[in-house]
Structure formats: C-alpha cells, structure tokens
Amino acid sequence: MPLNESFLQELKFKTDIEDIISGYVSLKKRGSTSVGLCPFHNEKTPSFTVYNDTQSFYCFGCGAGGDAVTFIKKIENLDYIDAVKLLAQRVGLQMPEDNSFDESLSKKRRRILEINRETAKFYYNFLVSPQGKAGLDYYLNRGLTANTIKRFGLGYAPDEWDSLLKHLKSKGYRVGEMVDAGVVKVGRNNNYYDTFKNRVMTPIIDVRGNVIAFGGRVLDNSKPKYINTSDTLVYKKTNELFALNLAKDNCSDTLILCEGYMDVIAMHQAGFTNAVAGCGTALTNEQVRLISRYTKEVILAYDADEAGQKALNKAISLFKQTDIKIRIPSLVGGKDPDEIIKKYGRDKFKGMLDGASNEIEFALLDLRNRNNLNTTQGKIDFLNGAIRVLSDVSPIEQDLYLSRLSNELGVDKSSIKIQLADYSRKNKQRQRRNMQKSVVDESIRENQKISYQNNTSIKQIKAEERIISLLLRYPDCIKLCSDFDAEKFSSAFIKRVFKEIISRLNSGLDVDLINFSGILTNEELGRLSGIIARTRESRNAKKEFSDCLAIVNEEYNNANNPSSSDMTDDEFRKLFNKG
C-alpha cells in the first residue's frame, strides 16, 4: 500500500531532485536541465539528464529513470519504504505513524541486518575467548594487532554445526530469518546448520555501518579455502566494496583497490586507510560506479601473479569507460601488498605507490614489452599501438608523449602527430555513428518487440506513449477521455499507467512521478521517465490528444491487419529523431 498523499506531497515540496542527485553525480547545467555521467552504467559521454521541471531523471544510454525516490532506491540498493525514509530524514520529515503503508519488506531487511550484527558479535566474542585461540593465533601470526582485529570486527566461527544457530535462537530470531540472512543453511533432510564452521571470519560492512555479509577462510589448506555469504535481501556482492565504510572518511583524494580482504586489512594497519577491495572474484561495473561516487583517482594494487595481472587488465578496461584516473604501481618483492609490507615495511611499499604509473604509461610499457624496438616492424607495430592508446588523452598529454616517443624511436614527431590526428578523427566519427545507431536501433528493436508481442503497429505505440505524456503535462486533456475505453490500449503497461493517472486526476490528486514510485518497478519507472523525457510541448495539446486517441481507436478496430506494414524502420528513425 502506498504512503498517504499528504506525506508524499510534503516530501515532494521539500525534496529537490538536483540536490539529491548532485550528492552522487557531478552535474553540469545544460539549459533548463542538468547532465552528468550515469551512475548506473559506465559511460564517457554524459547521457544522464535531470529535469527540474518534472523532478525526474532519465538516462538515454541505459534507460534508467524515475524520481528522487527511484534514484535513492537504485543508488543505495534500498526498497521503496527505506528509500522514502532516507529522503525524509534528509529533509527533516517524520514518517507517518498511521500504518498506511506495507513495511513488510523493510522489516525483513531490518531483521536480516540485526541477525548479521548479532552474528558478527558472536564470531568476535568467540575469537577472543579461550575456545577461539586457534583463530586468534592465525590473525596474530599474520601480523595483525588486537586493535586491527577489533576495528575490522574479525571473528572465528566455532568448529560446530549449530553453535550460531542456537545462539541466534536464544536471541529470539527464527530459523527462516537466519536462512534469509545467509548465516544458516538448509540440509537435504530439512535440517539446519551454520553456514560457516571452523573458519576465521571477516564481516562486510556497508557505507551506512550495517553488517551485510561475511567472508570465511579455513585455517589450513582444506577446500574450499574461502566461503562467502550468497546474495541476500541486503547484500549483492557485485555492488559492494570491502572497507569502503572506513576508506570513505579518509582525507586522501585517492582510493587503493586491492584483490583480497587481508591485503586491505594489512594496508589499513600500515596506515594506508584508503584501501578497499571488491567483494567477489572479479571487479564489476557496479563496483566501479560505486568507487566513482567517492574518488576521482584509483591506484590498482593488484597481485603480481598471473591471475592478479589478468584481473588488473579487466579493471583497467572497466575504468577506461569512466572519467576516473587510474595509476598502476610496480609491486616487486612479494606476491601481494600484505607480503611486501611484511618483508620491506611501510615506507618501501609507499614508494611503490608513489611511483605508480598512470594508465597511459602502463599501456605504453606493455606495448614495449610486446614489440622488438630494435627492428623496423617492431617500431611500426609499437607506434600503431601507441597511437590507439594516445587517441583518448588530452592534447597536452598527447604532445608530451609524442615528444618522448619521437626522441626514443628516432621518428619525426610531426609524422606521428599527423597519423594520430587522422586516427582520432576517424575513430570519433566511428564512435559517433555507432552510438547514434545503437540508440536508434535499440529503440526500434524495443518498439518492434512491443509491436510483435501486442500485435499492434509502431504508430499505435507512439500514439499511446504520447497520450500518457500529454495527460501528465496537460491534465486538462482528461475531459476528452470520457468516452475512451482504456482496454483498447495494446500495452498492459500503458493501460495500467493511464488508469492510474485518470483515477488520480478524477480524485483531485497530483500525477507527479513521486506518486508512482510505490506502485511501479524501477524498470517501469524508467520507461515512464523516458516517455516524459522525450515529451515535446504541444501547440494544441487537446487536438493532438484527440488525434492520438483516434489512432488508438482506429488501430484497435483494424487489429486484424498486418501490424508493422504502416511504418518502415527508416520512417521510424526520422520520427525518433524528431521526438
């Protein structure tokens, strides 16, 4: 059940979507809108747009859209009620106390977080007890201090099958809730047992200070070496970064990204309190976007082994799609940061970080290693690769690197510069064509998909979307709907939104996006936001509205005719570009 109208109305008046989003995304004014790099997919050209007049956002790149509540839901990975609560707290509003909303999902999340917190306390208390000596000795032998162990809330899971289960039961938690939290599992015979047994435990804490998951490691060489919490209602490993809750408050403008939890812990103990690690086996787009909210520069301190270098190359490719600067240190003398710090100390490791090369230098070094510069062909292959690398950097950087390459290889700088300019021009044209084609083709595919699924024409789909956009922008058009049957809409989504709008307008209620956040999914809100974002002002809204209704009526009456013969793809491209 949605929240009551008076509360939503007050929340709407006190919330400015640009203020909310600017806390996560760097926005630039562009006329009456603001644009920035989308936080929900990687991009270098801004396609994320904030509309102050409709208090909405829409990304033309990935289709994400909605109001301030939707944005908070997506960016903070919250359900509807918790997102509203967070917004209300920011503007100083109290949530209504009349139980006019369904808080079951929110309550379930809170119970899971409570169980996780109690579980973390249980593991820590067991670690520092006489029975947990094996776990404590493991951490001490790894060089951790008691203060570090406490700061990270490290623990030890007993060598028993149900010790945690019994403990949580004694605290009043139900077994089903423990399973939902991922700390207890169901066996083949419907018997329950602890997920973690005889392992040193690392709690994963989000930026709000909630324990959301755990990582467990064996004390010997038995398999599996690591066990991690599976995805739950409060945890999705692809979205989280270990120790970001600590690193985000560091005064440094840089984050150090490592591979493992122990590397991060060792680095924090050595004073590098801006270190974080991905949760899961490989860095993800979601984690990169999370990093972009807290820093503009990342040092990639990955392991020196083959697996680490493979992960490093993937990380570089992900960061290249953002405006985050990256630097890559040359880690020598150990397989990972933890080992290097133990062998050579903090200062030696700091020198490696300070001497980290940027992405361009790292790529050029890699090219050098792969080509024999003592041969003519080796120089040609190296320069062709270098031109591709340098095509995306600023003119000043290009000039500096071209001077260096010219001196190093004995090739005239102007010749390299001409070839670079030619490659850059062709590459930009190709990228521009590909982007435009991708956006238009995706819209064509989506409309053709809807057309095929609903056995209707592209013309009707466009008319239906225009009816919704006109009704939201010009509510007075409702007077023309008295004889219109909503069942004639081909799209169930349009039908549902249309009925909701009519119902609200007939009741004298607002039809702002915030009023749809509680009844539409994120994907549906994205589609509705896209319709709104592409809305043009109308010189004669009522006539246009009537014309669109006529198209829907006509197409409905001719439902047995071929559904896509009325508009070619080229015609649609022209229509799309106009709209």
SS in 3 state form for 16-38? Answer: CHHHHHHCCCCCEEECCEEEECC
- pLDDT at residue 323 tops 50: yes
pLDDT band at 434 (very low <50, low <70, confident <90, very high): low
Among 77-86, 94-103, 337-346, the least confident range: 94-103
Residue 360 confidence (pLDDT): 84
- pLDDT at residue 435 tops 70: no
Give tens-digit pLDDT for 276-316. Answer: 999 977 898 889 888 988 888 999 999 888 888 888 888 98
How long is the chain? 579
**Is the dihedral angle over the CA atoms 459, 553, 521, 294 positive or is it negative?**
positive
pLDDT band at 578 (very low <50, low <70, confident <90, very high): very low
What average pLDDT does range 375-397 have in this prediction?
A: 85
Give tens-digit pLDDT for 478-528. Answer: 999 888 999 999 888 999 999 999 999 988 888 888 888 888 988 899 999
What average pLDDT does range 19-33 have in this prediction?
A: 87
Task: Return the amino acid letter for 244.
Answer: L
Among 29-33, 229-233, 244-248, the least confident range: 29-33
CA distances (Å), 163 to each of 124, 213, 403, in order? 14, 18, 67
Q: What are phi and psi of 476, to 5 degrees?
A: -65, -15
Please report how many Cα atoms fall inside a 13 Å half-sphere around the Cα of residue 86, on the Cβ side: 19
Residue 437 confidence (pLDDT): 60
CA distances (Å), 303 to each of 273, 352, 427, in order? 19, 13, 34
Among 83-87, 196-200, 226-230, 365-369, the least confident range: 365-369
Residue 149 · residue 141 · CB < 8 Å: no
Strand ranges for 40-133 from DSSP E: 48-51, 56-59, 65-66
CA distances (Å), 71 to each of 79, 147, 514, in order? 11, 38, 11
pLDDT band at 452 (very low <50, low <70, confident <90, very high): very low
pTM (two decimals) = 0.70
C-alpha to C-alpha distance for 468 and 485, rounded to whole angstroms: 14
Task: For Cα atoms 147, 152, 81, give the angle at the middle one, nearest 5 degrees.
Answer: 145
- pLDDT at residue 71 tops 80: yes
- pLDDT at residue 251 tops 80: no
- pLDDT at residue 574 tops 80: no
CB atoms within 10 A of CB 507: 8
C-alpha to C-alpha distance for 177 and 115, rounded to whole angstroms: 8
What average pLDDT does range 12-34 have in this prediction?
A: 88
Percent of the chain with pLDDT over 90: 43
- pLDDT at residue 235 tops 90: yes
- pLDDT at residue 573 tops 70: no
Residue 254 confidence (pLDDT): 92
- pLDDT at residue 449 tops 90: no
Give tens-digit pLDDT for 123-182. Answer: 999 999 999 999 999 999 999 999 999 999 999 999 999 999 999 999 999 999 999 999
